[in-house]
Amino acid sequence: MDQLWAPWRFAYVAKETPPEAGDECFICRGQNASDDRANLLLQRTPLSTVLLNKFPYNNGHLLVAPKAHKGRLDELTAEESLDLQNGLVRMMRLMEQTMRPDGFNVGLNLGKVAGAGLPGHLHWHIVPRWNGDTNFMPVFGDVRVISQSLDALYDLLSAALARE
């Protein structure tokens, strides 16, 4: 049997304890820190941020979030909504140019029952998809094969952003 190594997933599998009331969420913590690379923060605008998903569903999985800690769509200003939409479009365009996916899943989970792992801070998921990227591993082995490290993805996309 072959072994697949994905040590960064251990924190997720081990079920890190949820933050205590009053603790910063991981998005806010990353935004408030100065080391964007260490916090997987790829882009900042005055109203939003783009982060690499630490526990990706697929290679290139990004999160687009408002800077403000808001958990409901109706809490966003018109300017925040537009900035977030522009961020989604920009990141998909960058991935089309650099990674050449065949399509995308883009989604927002509203509320814990809907699958939101962080229900207090809105964030859209952008998951690039390629023909043939679905196989038996998730179904039979409960394993996802991610073909690129987070460091390599960060380097690729941050270089593309710098060229814009």
CATH number at residue 129: 3.30.428.10
Higher pLDDT, 116 or 159: 159
Q: Which domain holds residue 146?
A: 21-163
> Mind listing the pLDDT tens digit for each residue in 128-147?
988 876 654 444 445 556 66
Split into its structural domains, the chain has a count of 1
Question: For the residues 46-71, what does the mean pLDDT come to?
Answer: 92
Give the burial class of 63: count Cβ atoms within 10 A of its Cβ; 0-12 exposed, 13-18 middle, 19 or more buried.
buried
Does residue 10 lie within any of the structural domains? Answer: no
Does residue 88 lie within any of the structural domains? Answer: yes
Buried b (16+ CB within 10 A) or exposed e, 128-150: bbeeebeeeeeeeeeebebeeeb
Give the catalytic positions in this structure.
123
The token duo for 99 is: 């990674």
Q: 161: which residues sit within 8 A by CB, 6+ positions away?
A: 42, 43, 94
* Measured CA angle at 72 (ends 66, 75), to 5 deg: 75
pTM for this entry: 0.74
Does residue 108 lie within any of the structural domains? Answer: yes
